[in-house]
Amino acid sequence: MRSWGVLGGLAAALAAGVYVLWGPIAQRKRRRRGLVPGLLNLGNTCFMNSLLQGLSSCPSFIKWLEEFTAQYKTEQNQSAEHQYLSLTLLHLLRALSCQEVPEDDVLDASCLLEVLRIYRWQISSFEEQDAHELFHVLTSSLEDERDRQPRVTHLFDVHSLEPEIIQKQITCRTRGSLPPMSNRWKSQHPFHGRLTSNMVCKHCEHQSPVRYDTFDSLSLSIPAAVWGRPLTLDHCLHHFISSESVKDVVCDNCTKIQAEGTLNGQSIENQRTTFVKQLKLGKLPQCLCIHLQRLSWSNQGTPLKRHEHVQFNEFLIMDIYKYHVPVHKPSQNDLNQKNSEETKPGTKDGIAVKPSDAEQTHGTKSLIMNGACSTSFLMSSGAFPLAAFPECSSPVYLYRLMAVVVHHGDMHSGHFVTYRRSPPSSKSPLSVSNQWLWISDDTVRKASLQEVLSSSAYLLFYERVHSKVQHQRLELRAEE
């Protein structure tokens, strides 16, 4: 018995030595597989954990935070991280994207709730919250942090100087190029976009001035399902930008036309007509967050959750939803010249069918539609080899799926999980990983792309893919 005790003590000492030297076996395996750290659930904080995992899969957002927080590096105060949301968020996202080596495989994100309290957001860790609402809390708080900073006019920022000075058209001669102007406080976060609202009178076809509204995420309602027809993300996007009639709207142009046909001095009432209103995307962001509205109401007024599966692809083409400045109507001479053209194959009613400049640039509607190309092509991993598919014109606004937030349960209780891409390897940090992960708080495992595309998405995080020409233009703008 005494020898067994000695052997047991030696085994315990050996196990303790192995733990001290190499750490726990689970930790070694996790880092060897390339899995990301999980997040500790502080009560009911799965909504926060899932959102942080989704944001950490967006490299453009992390890069923007790094540029945004560059000013704080000069501050000597060590507690700056606990005062600024941008610093707290950056450190969490860098750790979740394996850009910083965390001490543990399970991180504690309670620091985010603490810094949000400084911004007057009281979010309890024991009450169930919504991940989409937290997303808007973070983006609006980052904008507040940016607006609170002092805006010092740069010496060579002529556009910010007094109008009298600009009118004098002062020119300065320097040796070499002017120093670059800091655009930190003018630049928006990569989720910032703009919506356009277009109103056209049905009677006189007069178009009112286009209105612009900002957005951080596209909140799409799910249209009614048709039997035998699957719901797709395109259906939701088309439903979002579909035109609607607005009745009893004063038309200034109709009133003006009516006044021109009356005698002088006769009062004319404002002419009210029906307008057609349509939304489109005036500015598409670098990072696109799409929220699928799964809240509905019964006839009795009780909230219900919609569980329909909305099909989405790994790649998303947004050209057809982009607003373009309307082209002027052709004159009568242009029409006569067009009618005089000879009838050739591919003509219609004797007039040659020639794509417009916008169609040549952005592709026709049938080619731009998501899903018009091969399904296996759109769902494939890696790059977007358009040359292999000549029937698909090259899209300008192409997005790659980076993360999906899923809600399990009903409107009263549930749980948020995240599908996200694994961070790229240190050997090629600019590449995009094809490995997907399933994350539920502190539990992390590998997942397939098919599993991701089969999930009932609540939040979709896409990031824009730029072509080589677009990359060169962006680099030139950054140098200017």
Contact indicator for 432, 463 with CB cutoff of 8 Å: no
Contacts of 386 (CB under 8 A, 6+ apart): 392, 394, 395
Burial class (CB in 10 A: 0-12, 13-18, 19+), 154: middle
Cα–Cα distance measured from residue 421 to residue 97, given in angstroms and rounded to the nearest whole number: 10
Question: CA-CA distances (angstroms) from residue 281 to 210, 239, 310, 370?
Answer: 12, 13, 21, 16
Residue the block writes with tokens 């009560």: 43
Burial class (CB in 10 A: 0-12, 13-18, 19+), 232: middle
Residue burial 316-338, b: 16+ Cβ < 10 Å; e: rest = bbbbbbbbeeeeeeeeeeeeeee
Burial class (CB in 10 A: 0-12, 13-18, 19+), 346: exposed
> What's 262's DSSP letter?
S
Question: CA-CA distances (angstroms) from residue 431 to 17, 383, 449?
Answer: 39, 10, 17
Comparing CA positions, the residue from 286, 473, 289, 291 lying closest to residue 398 is 286
Give catalytic residues, as residue numbers.
46, 415
Q: Which amino acid is at 10?
A: L
Six-digit token string for 311: 């099909």
